């Protein structure tokens, strides 16, 4: 359903949107950089920029304020989603039989929490959906994927109004959730990578200065002319993936895979990355030798190093961070475009360096596992 607007050719229609949103991000970061403790606000600015981008793309909604209830409610909803997706946060994810324990039984507060989170999620996605629906009816809707879906009579033929509303509301909010947290988290990893690898930082800036010019910002038209920036983006997706535990899937029928008997109803995790806080048995392709995919030294030499040049060798595979087969993330091409324009523009505009402590020594930022299914946690105390 999404492929019509998000395939590799179709996403080019959103290039101007991405360039505009990136310029807004740069302006907001310039204001942030003049404040004391400047970097504390950078993570929020990345999140706000991607939220603004995805609300325009999905709903045609212009996000202007950090206090906008659409923004605050959506973020609360997806913070809860990524927390609940981490299997160790709720025992029911590990022991599904707990589902059948009645709510009055001691220790089942997680059930009430789940009901409340589900209610808030539905109210949030319904509010965004109804807003765009009213704009379409009034003839004032700006271009968006949801607007096109609502106007596609062939697509929604055969559905009752209730079925149409439920499916389109779920579809559009998943687009927002899939693009906001993931890309903003990757941008945080980008900053950490540049601080920890000044040689990569310098080489990337030199390419931009040589190809685009020292006084100009990159555009989407420059994408094919900046191969090193392209490889930086590939390495960002591999180095510390934002979904280190992958997205869990349920097997819908009995299956056999490379000698493993998988029963119907089995919850499958494919571990893309390995962190100290991710300590359960991994079920991955035999080629990984039971190591996390991104840390397989047989595929990625010196896997802990941030090395964009590894992808100069065309035989080195890209990390399947967007999934596999028909369940692959439908927004992957848009996400790759967003990552390119934001990374290249940040490099053209800023230099990221380590902060010094009171004794004049460099402070090294830390990257550790987070207590959710989405991303690793980065301690940027040492970044200025």
Q: Could you tell me the residue ranges of all domains in the chain? A: 3-379
Per-residue confidence (pLDDT) for residue 290, from 0 to 100: 34
- The mean per-residue pLDDT over the stretch 216-240 comes to 96
Highest mean pLDDT among 59-63, 176-180, 315-319, 378-382: 59-63
Assigned fold of 3-379: Cytochrome p450 (1.10.630)
Encoded tokens for 199: 């040689």
Q: Is 98 exposed, middle or buried (0-12, 13-18, 19+ CB in 10 A)?
A: middle
**Residues 6 or more apart in contact with residue 201 via CB below 8 angstroms:** 194, 195, 347, 351, 352
Confidence of residue 194 (pLDDT cuts 50, 70, 90): very high
What are the tokens at 283? 């079920």
- Residue 94 predicted with pLDDT over 90: no
Q: What 8-state DSSP symbol labels residue 96?
A: G
Rounded to 5 degrees, what are φ and ψ at 267? -90, 125
Alpha carbon distances (Å) from 209 to 233, 344, 348, 378: 18, 11, 8, 29
Residue pair 300/239 in contact (Cβ under 8 Å)? The answer is no
Q: Where are the beta strands (DSSP E) in the chain?
A: 249-250, 255-257, 260-262, 267-268, 366-369, 376-379
Q: Is the pLDDT of residue 169 over 80?
A: yes
Q: Distances from the Cα of 82 to the Cαs of 12, 247, 248, 367, in angstroms?
A: 29, 10, 12, 19
- Report the distance separating Cα 137 and Cα 53, nearest Å: 23
Is residue 329 part of an annotated ligand binding site?
yes
What's the chain's average pLDDT?
82
Confidence band (pLDDT; 50, 70, 90) for 244?
low
User: Is 117 a residue whose pLDDT tops 60?
Assistant: yes
Query: What is the rounded CA–CA span in Å between residue 1 and residue 20?
Result: 26
At 379 the three-state DSSP class reads strand
User: Using CA atoms, how far apart are residues 85 and 73, in angstroms rounded to an integer?
Assistant: 19
325-379 pLDDT, tens digit per residue, is 777 788 899 999 999 999 999 999 999 888 777 888 887 877 665 554 455 555 5
Which range is least confidently modeled, 89-93, 205-209, 260-264, 270-274? 270-274
Give pLDDT, residue 112.
Answer: 80
The whole-number pLDDT of residue 282 equals 36
Answer with the residue of higher pLDDT: 349 or 122.
349
pLDDT higher than 90, residue 36: no
Give the pLDDT band of residue 123 (cuts 50, 70, 90).
Answer: confident
CB burial class (10 A; 0-12, 13-18, 19+) of residue 115?
Answer: exposed
pLDDT of residue 335: 93
d(CA 80, CA 67): 19
Residue 378: DSSP 8-state: E
Burial class (CB in 10 A: 0-12, 13-18, 19+), 254: exposed
Share of the chain above pLDDT 70, in %: 83
Residue 183 Rama label (left phi>0; alpha psi -120 to 50; beta): alpha
Q: Is the pLDDT of residue 190 over 80?
A: yes
């Amino acid at each position: 359903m999404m492929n019509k607007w998000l395939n590799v050719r179709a996403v080019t229609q959103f290039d101007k949107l991405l360039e505009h949103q990136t310029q807004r991000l740069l302006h907001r970061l310039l204001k942030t950089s003049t404040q004391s403790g400047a970097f504390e606000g950078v993570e929020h600015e990345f999140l706000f920029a991607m939220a603004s981008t995805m609300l325009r793309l999905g709903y045609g909604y212009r996000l202007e304020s950090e206090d906008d209830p659409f923004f605050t409610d959506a973020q609360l909803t997806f913070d809860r989603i990524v927390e609940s997706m981490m299997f160790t946060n709720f025992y029911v994810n590990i022991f599904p039989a707990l589902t059948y324990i009645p709510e009055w039984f001691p220790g089942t507060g997680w059930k009430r929490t789940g009901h409340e989170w589900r209610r808030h999620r539905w109210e949030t996605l319904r509010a965004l959906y109804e807003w765009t629906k009213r704009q379409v009816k009034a003839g004032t809707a700006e271009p968006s994927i949801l607007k096109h879906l609502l106007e596609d009579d062939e697509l929604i033929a055969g559905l009752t109004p209730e079925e149409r509303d439920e499916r389109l509301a779920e579809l559009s909010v998943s687009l927002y959730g899939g693009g906001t947290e993931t890309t903003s988290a990757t941008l945080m990893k980008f900053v950490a990578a540049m601080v920890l690898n000044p040689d990569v930082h310098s080489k990337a800036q030199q390419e931009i200065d040589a190809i685009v010019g020292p006084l100009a910002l990159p555009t989407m038209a420059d994408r094919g002319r900046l191969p090193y920036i392209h490889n930086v983006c590939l390495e960002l997706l591999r180095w510390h993936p934002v979904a280190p535990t992958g997205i869990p899937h349920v097997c819908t029928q009995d299956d056999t895979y490379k000698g493993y008997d998988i029963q119907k109803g089995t919850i499958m995790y494919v571990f893309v990355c390995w962190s100290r806080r991710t300590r359960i048995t991994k079920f991955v392709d035999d080629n990984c030798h039971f190591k996390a995919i991104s840390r397989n030294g047989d595929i990625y030499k010196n896997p802990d190093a941030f090395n964009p040049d590894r992808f100069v060798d065309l035989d080195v595979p890209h990390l399947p961070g967007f999934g596999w087969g028909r369940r692959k993330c439908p927004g992957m091409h848009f996400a790759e475009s967003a990552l390119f324009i934001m990374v290249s523009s940040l490099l053209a505009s800023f230099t990221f360096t380590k902060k010094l402590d009171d004794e004049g020594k460099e402070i090294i930022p830390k990257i550790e596992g987070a207590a959710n299914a989405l991303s690793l946690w980065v301690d940027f105390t040492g970044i200025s």
